[in-house]
Amino acid sequence: MTVTTASVPKIGRHFRIQWEEAQKAYVLLYPEGMVKLNQSAGEILKRCTGEASVGDITADLEKTFNAQGLQQDVINFVELALQQKWVETT
């Protein structure tokens, strides 16, 4: 599936994202497993609420981290996350 700025990603069914203080990281939890997320992955995935589009998420990240030109990186990551079923899109 192709991801565009209009795609609206949401954390996948049976996955849960949460901050783990012991690991100082966001983690994705699923049946009998866990993925520890690096900072970038965590920041994107926690914004995948099913309400914000990829465009909105990019704008928010650029604002929060005072950065520019993140759009392609966000799209690439959401594509990867879709393949892994970490997110679903509507």
Which residue in the set 1, 3, 10, 31 belongs to the binding site for another protein (CB under 8 A)? Answer: 31
Could you identify the residue written with the tokens 């679903």? 88
Which residue in the set 33, 51, 63, 90 belongs to the binding site for another protein (CB under 8 A)? Answer: 33
Binders of another protein in range 50-89 (CB under 8 A): 70, 73, 76-77, 80
- By CB under 8 A, which span of 2-10, 22-30, 48-56 interacts with another protein? 22-30
Distance CA 33, CA 49 (A): 21
Does 37 sit near another protein (CB under 8 A)? yes
